[in-house]
Structures are given as structure tokens and as C-alpha cells.
Amino acid sequence: MVRVRFAPSPTGMLHVGALRDALFKSLFAQREGGQNVFRIEDTDRSRYNADSESEFVETLRWVGIEFDEGPHIGGPFAPYRQSERKEAGIYAPLAEELMARGHAYKAFETSAELDEMREFQQINKMPTGYFGGAWRDATPEQVDAAQAEGKPFVIRQRIPRDTKIVIDDVVRGRIEWDSNTVDDPVLIKADGMPTYHFAAMVDDHLMQITHILRGEEWISSAPKHALLFDAFGWERPIFCHCPVIVGSDGKKLSKRHGATRVLDYMAQGFFPHALKNFIALIGWSPGDDREAMTMPELIGAFELKGIQASPGRFDFEKLRWLNGNLIRSLTPQDILDAILELLDHPHAQAYWENFVDEPMPNQVPVDGKVVWSRLELIRTKFAEDPELVLAAIREEQPRVHTLVEFGEAVEFFLVDQPVMDEKAVSKWLTQPHVPALFAAIVANPPAPDLPEADIRNHYDAVLRAFAADNGFDKLGPVVHPTRVALTGKTVGPGLFELMAILGPERIAARLAKWL
RNA sequence: GCUCUGGUCGUCUAGCGGUUAGGACAUCGCCCUCUCACGGCGAAGAUCGCGGGUUCGAAUCCCGUCCGGAGUACCA
């Protein structure tokens, strides 16, 4: 039975890199019919953030990644928080056992002494790290004496000397180290808390984790971890070090590459599936040309051998394409539901209320409050005229990449008078035939109670007739002014389609000021 | 510095000794057309980081080299 674990440290928000981690594990577990465990690695008191765990749970729930066991759902290996496991006395006896077997020892250096040692190593261009210090080979008497003085101590792992350490990584194959280059890591800190090196490996064994999937930043400490399993006489899990996601400049993903917080993508109107589909494709491929995939397809195709060794860049444009692609496959009702859900999400509102756009040369900065109010207009208008809102969404679907973009795209359908693009006004509404054109449109409303398609054809005929009667051989001169007067813009859905949706009353009201 | 690790179109990738090096995003053009999109078609874009080998034949195997990245904490 395959068992994997997603074990973040609750120090802040759930970012894109962690999502990749969680997603790969989830896909792998599902593909193999295995289990996915959620564990909280809160062994660092100083970095602990009380809101972090709930953010993780909320984000994972939004994105649709589920677990079989975890602190929020329980399970046979509870507790799933390492701080609680420490209180339950899980780690200390195992550290004792390791010392009894000679694989660990107490070290009494102060952090000041350690700093000094590191500085010395750096100055002398030596490898930095604890390769023995004063305590690796201390006699029992020395240890007893130090302890009798009440000196604080840590427990360190005793890495064997003059040997080769080999691990077999699923992604990179055989990796080996000269054990003399691996220093003795701290297993138990002076406050009695285990370090990651100890707690994670102990828990992985105790929780029967079969595959350690994690980011490549862990490769360096993999030999320590492998040795720990060996020291206990435990079977080593399979190591699989995945490539990381980097920003557009090849450096570690950070805020300056756009959002790193997963919930911000929710706030921007991305679908969980688009995000998962996109993230899955960074660092992994199904082995063929498939890109836009359903969840069952992703799960069915997810094999460890499809994982890439090289880091991948986060290409925001491709995410947008995937999301737009998904939007186009949905019904207007699906989309509306998603917009309504977004409007109800407290984080989405907070995101836009506090949104501060980065200043860009010759570009009007985005006003988050305006973005949000446009979205709210969809909800309020839907309450009074659902047909109109759904039709508007249907027409804008091919043009939109995120849910939030519907706010701006659909606005002209919903307001009494659209916001006018002044350049478009001066170009199209100043032409001499415009008043006569608009008068003809207003004078020829469609018959009442016609189906939408017939209204569309009615306006098509009216405009074509006007064009023919006035010597225009193309539709442009009649279509463009009408579009500008009706929508305020030069771009948008087909004119006749949008006229059919607007209906004769709204059309007359909007054309009136140009007659 | 030391240790590990990576390197195919701008980006994500396919490729596993013999391919005109394939696809997707982005870019450009054409078609559709009332605009913008969508969709369709097409173009441009990769001497497979570089240099040596091995081989009849190398992106694919070997060695070296260069350039990235990660780790080098009583953080994870």
C-alpha cells in the first residue's frame, strides 16, 4: 500500500511550491490506490504561526486536495502534529535508543561556540558543519560531568566516517556521498524538540510512509535521513526528489513574480482545476502531448517516471490560457455559480479591497475596489434579471480568462448607461450618418415576444438595410457607431447578439443621447 | 569555499543510438467576420550549454568544461 505525506511547517501561507508538493503526492496516491496523510511539522516554536494551519486546510479544501488522515480528520497514527507527538513522548525514547546503539550522542556546545567554529571554518575555507566538535568522541565521564553541571545539550546523529552513502532517487537515480562530507545533524534540540531531520523520518516510519516525495532542496540532507533509517534498522522509504518551481527569472519563486499565495489565485478568479492542471505540468508530463486534462486523466497518467529533474518556471500566461480554456467549456450557469462562490469568499474580498497595483509605464493601475464592485454588480443584477446576466456571461465567455474578468466584460450589459471610451466616441459617433442610423434603429424595434435568435436577425436586417440604403457596401460604418453607443467600447460580442440581449428599451435609452 | 544537482524553441515539455528534433503557451500572418475574442490554417522560433571521445550513426552513452540552482542552522 502506497502511503505518502504532505507535511508542511505552519509558518505562513500555503504557496505555489507547497501546492505542487501536495498535488504530486495526491495524484500519486490516487493513481496507486494509496493513502495521503496530512501532517503538521511544528517543531520550530519561534517560527510557528497560529493561523497557518487553518490557511492550509482552507486552501487545500478550495483546491480540492483530500487526505485520508490528518490533524483535522484524525486517523490511526494520531496525533498528526509533531508538537503533540513530542508531548506524547514519541521522539525522546527513540533518541535514547539511537544513543544506546552508538548512532547519536549528546553535544554541549553553546550556540556562541558553534558560531565561532563556523567562522573559523569559513575563514580557513573548510567545509562548514559539525564534524566532531568536542563531543562526538567524548568519554562517558565528560558527558556525565557536563550534564552534572546542568549544561544544556543537543543530541546529534553520529554519521559514520570513511564510507560511502548511497541513495536511490526515483527522479535522479543513484546519488552518493563521501560520508566525511556529511556533518552530524542535530536530532533533538536543547529545548527537547526534535528537528525536522529526526521528527520527519521517525514519523514517516511510524506512519508507514512508503514514498518520500519532496522538493529537491532536500537532496542535501537525504544521506542523513537514509542513514537514520539504517541506524534504527528500519526499511528506507523510496526517495523521490521533485524539481522546484522557480520564477520567471529562474530564481526561487517569490512575491515579485506575482502571487505566491495559492488563495490569491482563487481571489483572481482561477479555477482550482486550472491551477492544478497547470501546476501538474510543471515538472511532470504524461509522456505524450496531452495538456488540458481532466482530474481522472491526470490521476490515470500520473507516474513517478514522468517527473522532470530540472526546475520549471511559472508561466502565468499559460495558466491564464488553461483557465480560459476551462471557462469556455462551462455553461453560463456554471460560471455564474463560480462567480457567486468567489463573491462569498472572505479572502477574495479582502484581496481586492486591499489590492495595490504595481505601477507600470503607460498603464492605468488596477483599482481593486472597482474590480470588486463590478463583480458585485453581477450578483445584484442576477437577483433582478437572471436571464440578462446569464446571456451576458454566455456572450463574453470566449473572451475571458478569469472569473474576475467577467466583471469588466459584462458590465455594459448591466448598467443603465455604459462608461464611454472617449477615443471611440470621437472616432465613431461624430460621423454624419449616425443620428439617422440610430433613429432608424429606434424606429424599427422587433416585434414583442420574439425569441432571442429572431431579435438578433431582426437587428441584423435593420442594420443591413440602413447600410444598403445609404450607400455603404460594408457593415462597419453602421456597426461600429452602434456598438460604441451601446457598449461604450470598440470590442466585444457580435453587435446583433448583444442587441438581442439588450432589447429595444435599453437600446433606445442608450441611443437617445446621440440622436 | 565544500557537497549535491540541473542544462532540448522566449516558456512548459516529447524524445531513451538512426525523427525533416514532435506538441503546447506566448509571438507573427492568413481564414472566419461588424470589432475584439473563440475556432481553423500556417509561419517564425532549438547547430539539443560548450568541447572532446565511443559508434557506420549521438539530443540520446562516456569524459571534461562552462553556466545556473539547492544545501552548507538547536528552519523546515
User: Can you give A194-251 as a three-state secondary structure string?
Assistant: ECHHHHHHHHHHHCCCCEEEEEHHHHHHHHHHHHHHHHHCCCCCEEEEECCEECCCCC
Helix (H, G, I), strand (E, B) or coil at A384: helix
Q: Cβ of A472 < 7 Å from strand B? A: no
Chain Cα centroid distance, residue A34: 24
The interface pTM score, or ipTM, of the predicted complex is 0.95
* Angstrom distance, A90 CA to B69 C1': 36
- Distance of alpha carbon A279 from alpha carbon A20, whole angstroms: 6
* Angstrom distance, A228 CA to B15 C1': 38
Q: For A117-133, how does the pLDDT look when each residue is reduced to its tens digit (9 = 90+)? A: 999 998 888 889 999 87
Q: Cβ of A192 < 7 Å from strand B? A: no
Q: Cβ of A223 < 7 Å from strand B? A: no
Is the per-residue pLDDT at A359 higher than 80?
no
Is the per-residue pLDDT at A385 higher than 90?
yes
Q: For A179-238, how does the pLDDT look when each residue is reduced to its tens digit (9 = 90+)? A: 999 999 999 999 999 999 999 999 999 999 999 999 999 999 999 999 999 999 999 999
**Closest nucleotide to A122 by C1' from CA:** B1
Q: Is A255 a catalytic residue?
A: yes
- Distance of alpha carbon A60 from alpha carbon A375, whole angstroms: 25
* Angstrom distance, A503 CA to B63 C1': 76
- Distance of alpha carbon A121 from alpha carbon A114, whole angstroms: 11
Q: For A288-304, how does the pLDDT look when each residue is reduced to its tens digit (9 = 90+)? A: 999 999 999 999 999 99
pTM, entire model: 0.94
C-alpha separations of A197 from A4, A19, A52, A269, A293 in Å: 17, 22, 22, 38, 37
**Containing H/E element for A3?**
strand A3-6
Catalytic one of A255, A369, A423, A513: A255
Calculate the average pLDDT of chain A. 95
Whether the bond into A237 is cis, omega within 30 of 0: no
pLDDT band at A358 (very low <50, low <70, confident <90, very high): confident
Rg over CA atoms, chain A: 31
Is the per-residue pLDDT at A258 higher than 80?
no
Q: Cβ of A365 < 7 Å from strand B? A: no
Q: Tell me A415's DSSP state.
A: S
- Distance of alpha carbon A400 from alpha carbon A491, whole angstroms: 13
Angle at A437 between CA A433 and CA A438, to 5 degrees: 125
- Distance of alpha carbon A346 from alpha carbon A372, whole angstroms: 12
The pLDDT value given to residue A252? 76
Q: Where are the alpha helices (DSSP H) in A302-345?
A: 316-328, 332-343
